[in-house]
Amino acid sequence: MRNLIISALVFMSSICLAQNSKIVLSSRWFHPRNSNDTLSTLKVTKEFEVERLDWLYCDDTDKLNELSNLGIPFSLAINPQVTDSFGYSSLKMRMVNLYGKPIIAPWMRAWKISNPYWGCVNNVQFQELFLKASERMVDMGAYGIMVDDARFNDHAVEWGGCYCTFCLRAFNLFLVKRGVSFKRGFDYRDFKLSLNQSNDKYFKYFKEFQRESVIAFLKKWKEALKTYSANVVLLTNNFGGQWTDIYKVFDAGIAEFAESSANYDQVDTAIKNSNLLKKRQIFSYASRNEGKTLGFYLYSYFNNVEALIPWDTFLVSESTMDVKRFFINSDRMIPIVKFVKSTRDLLNGATNVSNSSLGIVAEANTRIRCYHLADGSLYLLAVIDLQSNVSKIKVTVPSQLVNQNSDIFKNTTKKMQGSMVTYEGDLILLKLT
């Protein structure tokens, strides 16, 4: 009985989340950025009939007012490198390594930016800077604040930080709280510098300490910001759809999936986890393979998860830490967005139907799903597996399930063979009879 109630609640909550599903653009920067920039965020916002913008870096009030005038809510992004003095990340608020040198995230080392240094969550001045900057974003009309790279010090432990005086002092208190003994006047930084690293019995506590520092920092920030503006929504990028204790502080997560390592089992797990935790989950994925990019987008909405239109987003390669800006081609994206918009109320109540019971067969490299929509209509969605390198997939459907309007985007080739019809394309969406 209890399980029934729980699954009913989970089901209800996924419906509740889905009913609000919107067409969301990722425009990381507000274009044009200068007179040479031929891109326009407002133009694509209109082209794609965007209903919300997430993860936008912009501090130009005139530009933001244009979005507000169009009635489009936006979340503004903030990150550990939030600037404190004329576009720079000055050292007094930043994380440092054992030698007192500021830390740069490994994937940012090649970036030509004036503010590469990450703030330390234990630094009181940085805490204040981060809160004030967030409050300013609320004042600029943001419905939400998107914290980009919310792991802060927890992440920096992997790159040799942070050993600033704030951290060292707080670490000693943490050890006392944990009942771990240390000598009078203990300074973890000196200890580490004088020590053969393999004997560092304190390091496991240090990792725990930094993680807890980040959680405490974010909770304090959240409380202050919600006092400042009760309805502000707090988002973060929870890579791959993980909900660690750090990410759980947030109301919503934007799960990035790396082009090189993503797979649909990981996507399915992310959907299940966010439903169980009743967290709002949004997806972000882009691939140089257009079929994969568009297939991922449709797959998300068929599973009641919003996905960012990948326009001015990043192609994330996990293996090389290489990041490239990416803009989806409008010609194929627009019909996909229009389809999502016109069917989303029906998608809310969609249920899975087994494709084998319908006699539908897919070749390898294909993720295939059949859905009954809320109005009883039957759809087949076949997309390229994210791990495969093919550019085309093939699906065979019994001819009695097919009518002349089956192919929604008219982008597949069709071959009749006896009582079966074979479709081939980089993305197959059929409305079956």
Query: Residue 155's Cα: distance from chain center in Å?
Result: 17
3-state helix, strand, coil in the chain (%, to 5): 40, 25, 40
Among 17, 56, 156, 164, binds Zn ion (CB under 5 A): 164
Tell whether residue 105 is a contact of Zn ion (CB under 5 A).
no
Q: List Cα–Cα distances, 420 to 78, 154, 395, 423, in angstroms.
A: 53, 55, 10, 10
Distance CA 3, CA 275 (A): 15
**Least distance from Zn ion to the Cβ atom of residue 253, Å:** 26
Q: Which is nearer to Zn ion, 86 or 99 (CB)?
A: 99
Binding-site string for Zn ion from residue 115 to residue 144, where x marks contact by CB under 5 A and - marks none: -----x-x----------------------
Tell whether residue 23 is a contact of Zn ion (CB under 5 A).
no
Contact between 48 and 86 (Cβ < 8 Å): no
Contact between 146 and 133 (Cβ < 8 Å): no
Tell whether residue 267 is a contact of Zn ion (CB under 5 A).
no
- Touching Zn ion, residues 388-427 (CB under 5 A): none
**Least distance from Zn ion to the Cβ atom of residue 164, Å:** 3
Query: What three-state secondary structure class fits 59?
Result: coil
Tell whether residue 162 is a contact of Zn ion (CB under 5 A).
yes
**Least distance from Zn ion to the Cβ atom of residue 246, Å:** 16
**Least distance from Zn ion to the Cβ atom of residue 110, Å:** 24
**Least distance from Zn ion to the Cβ atom of residue 373, Å:** 52
Q: Which is nearer to Zn ion, 156 or 258 (CB)?
A: 156
Which tokens belong to 145?
Answer: 């604040």
Q: Determine the size of the site formed for Zn ion (CB under 5 A).
A: 6
Residue 11, class by beta-carbon neighbours within 10 Å (0-12 exposed, 13-18 middle, 19+ buried)? exposed
**Least distance from Zn ion to the Cβ atom of residue 163, Å:** 7
Among 82-90, 161-169, 280-288, 361-369, the segment contacting Zn ion (CB under 5 A): 161-169
Distance CA 204, CA 209 (A): 9
For the four alpha carbons of 335, 337, 338 and 344, in that order, the dihedral sign comes to: positive
**Least distance from Zn ion to the Cβ atom of residue 79, Å:** 17
Nearest to 152 by CA among 81, 208, 202: 81
Among 167-175, 251-259, 292-300, 411-419, the segment contacting Zn ion (CB under 5 A): 167-175
**Least distance from Zn ion to the Cβ atom of residue 90, Å:** 15
Among 17, 82, 157, 167, binds Zn ion (CB under 5 A): 167
Tell whether residue 370 is a contact of Zn ion (CB under 5 A).
no
Q: Which is nearer to Zn ion, 164 or 267 (CB)?
A: 164
Q: Which is nearer to Zn ion, 173 or 276 (CB)?
A: 173
Q: Which is nearer to Zn ion, 164 or 286 (CB)?
A: 164
Residue 153, class by beta-carbon neighbours within 10 Å (0-12 exposed, 13-18 middle, 19+ buried)? buried
Tell whether residue 303 is a contact of Zn ion (CB under 5 A).
no
Tell whether residue 213 is a contact of Zn ion (CB under 5 A).
no
Contact between 89 and 78 (Cβ < 8 Å): no
Distance CA 371, CA 432 (A): 10
Q: How many helices (H) and strands (E) does the chain have?
A: 11, 18
Strand duo 393-398 + 413-417: pairing = unpaired
Catalog residues that contact Zn ion under the rule CB under 5 A: 120, 122, 162, 164, 166-167
